[in-house]
Amino acid sequence: MNCSTAFCAAPLPLPKSIEPLPLWRGFTSVLFALAFTFALSPTARAVDPPPDGGYPNDNTAEGSDALFSLTTGTDNTAMGFNALESNTSGYTNTATGSFALSSNTMGYFNTANGASALRANKTGHDNTANGFVALYINTGNFNTATGSSALQNNTTANDNTANGFQALLSNTTGSNNTANGANALRNNNADNNTANGTNALLSNTTGNDNAASGFGALQNNQSGNNNSANGTNSLFHNTNGNANTAVGFAALGNNKTGSNNIALGDNAGANVTGGSNNIYIGASGPSSESGHIRIGSPGPQNATFISGIYGALFANGVQVIASPTGRLGTIASSARFKEAVVPMDKTSEAILALHPVTFRYKPEFDPAGIPQFGLIAEEVAKINPDLIARDEKGEIYTVRYEAINAMLLNEFLKEHGTVAEQQAKVAKQESTIAELKATVAQQQKQIEALTATVQKVSDQVALSKPAPQLVANP
């Protein structure tokens, strides 16, 4: 037999004891050849009935045991091994992937794309899962998971959205959470949290009402509530601090337990670990403090402009002073702030050696050249070093005019006391003089009276004397 094909089918020889008819022999040979040929063909393995996918009530199934338990459910689409296998009366569900929505019985409006996506869901509805084991254990409603293992362990929680590998992975009962990014809110089981970025709110378990945007934002938060972090690694180490707001790369990145802090800017408040009630704008701050406001860094900034202060009349206030480090404050005069209080006495006499001058600041500091009145700090330092202030480098910077004012007051009071004492002496002297004048006047009257008496007596004596006799000389 000559065959031109790669395979040539020929009838097997029958035993000679049974001799078939020539026609039967040819028919048998053809059937055997066809059967053998189809057995070797990959397209010859069709199932019965053919998988056309169309079933009653607008249901579509493709895959072994897909929609296996369907009874009254309508408008379902199942594609994949055991997809929607247990669905009975659930409707308008779409499952694509092995075991996708395989446990669903009465749930509706669910969409599962990926192996074992929404696998354990039974009655939950309006859920969407895209990715391997996304929303695997879910029984809740209105959840959306996109990404492998996203919302994998969600059970009864509702209204969660997870986009990214293992986003909201461990969430079981927490609701109203949104996670976008790999591992975002991975360990969460709380409510009302929003995480955008890889590892954002990764460790959060029971903390509620947190918002994190950026890689590693609030990554270690566990039970802290009402925190907002925007920026890579912002509030990175926060564990149970509450009501913190961080905007910027690593803002409040080392805060762990501090609460009610606000940080704005790159590394703003990054050094603080446990302080509370602080505000940082462009300042990293120290490791621990509370109730402070820091704006800017000592190096780059050399001038500050704040509107609404100059020209704004305000009667009930005190003078503000600044330290070399930029700290603002006021001078307190209450006794409760003071110790070692002694009279100034002769200390204030140092100001009598000062030399007030008139001057103008150099053009680079005051282009207008406004006339000024004051002292030269270097000269003051030679007289009394306590009367000058130094800058952050320790160099002489300015005069403590408020201290000089107190010393002036002391000298004035001393001089005033001297004048008052002198005035008292003068008054006493004037009183004495007045008394002396009165005495003299009285004595003058007495003298005058005595003089008059003497004159009267003299006159009487004169009248009682005989008249002088004229005697002739012999």
pLDDT tens-digit map of 12-51: 333 333 333 343 344 344 334 334 333 434 443 333 454 4
pLDDT of residue 51: 42
pLDDT at 10 > cutoff 80: no
pLDDT of residue 100: 95
Say what the alpha-carbon torsion angle 87, 162, 239, 296 is, to the nearest 10 degrees: -170
- Residues 6 or more apart whose CB falls under 8 angstroms from that of 354 comprise 375, 379, 380, 383, 404
Using the predicted structure, report yes or no on whether residue 87 has a pLDDT greater than 60: yes
- pLDDT score, position 325: 84
Residue 25: per-residue pLDDT: 40
Minimum mean pLDDT range among 81-90, 165-174, 180-189, 435-444: 435-444
Question: At 467, is the pLDDT very low, low, confident or very high (cuts 50, 70, 90)?
Answer: low
Domains of the chain are 341-442 (1.10.10)
Write out pLDDT tens, residues 389-406: 999 889 999 999 999 999
- Residue 393 and residue 413 in contact, taking contact as beta carbons nearer than 8 Å: no
Segment 170-189 mean pLDDT: 96
- pLDDT of residue 124 exceeding 90, the answer is yes
**pLDDT for 133 beyond 60:** yes
pLDDT given for residue 15 in this prediction: 35
Distance CA 223, CA 208 (A): 8
- Residues contacting residue 58 through CB under 8 Å, at least 6 positions apart: 74, 75
What is the 3-state composition of the chain as percent helix, strand, coil, each rounded to the nearest 5? 25, 15, 65
Helix-then-strand count for the chain, H and E: 3, 22
Confidence of residue 115 (pLDDT cuts 50, 70, 90): very high
Sequential DSSP letters for 376-410 = -HHHHHHH-GGGEEE-TTS-EEEE-HHHHHHHHHH
**67-81, 373-387, 458-472: least confidently modelled range:** 458-472
Rounded CA separation 10/243 (Å): 87
Query: What is this structure's pTM?
Result: 0.74
Distance CA(313)–CA(392), nearest Å, equals 32
472: confidence class by pLDDT, cuts 50, 70, 90: low
Share of the chain above pLDDT 90, in %: 73
Residue 8 has pLDDT above 60, yes or no: no
C-alpha pair distances (Å), 158 with each of 138, 143, 169, 316: 9, 6, 14, 56
Mean pLDDT (the chain) is 87
Place 462 in a pLDDT band, splitting at 50, 70 and 90: confident
- Asked if residue 439 has pLDDT above 80, the reply is yes
Confidence grade of residue 238 (pLDDT, cut at 50, 70, 90): very high
Which band of pLDDT confidence, cut at 50, 70 and 90, is reported for residue 340?
very high
Q: Each residue of 198-218: pLDDT tens digit?
A: 999 999 999 999 999 999 999
pLDDT in tens, 260-269: 999 999 999 9
Q: How many residues does the chain have?
A: 474
Which SS3 state, helix, strand or coil, does residue 129 take?
Answer: strand
Task: Give the whole-angstrom CA distance, residue 230 versus residue 194.
Answer: 11
pLDDT (tens digit, 9 = 90+) per residue, 53-86?
A: 788 899 999 999 999 999 999 999 999 999 999 9
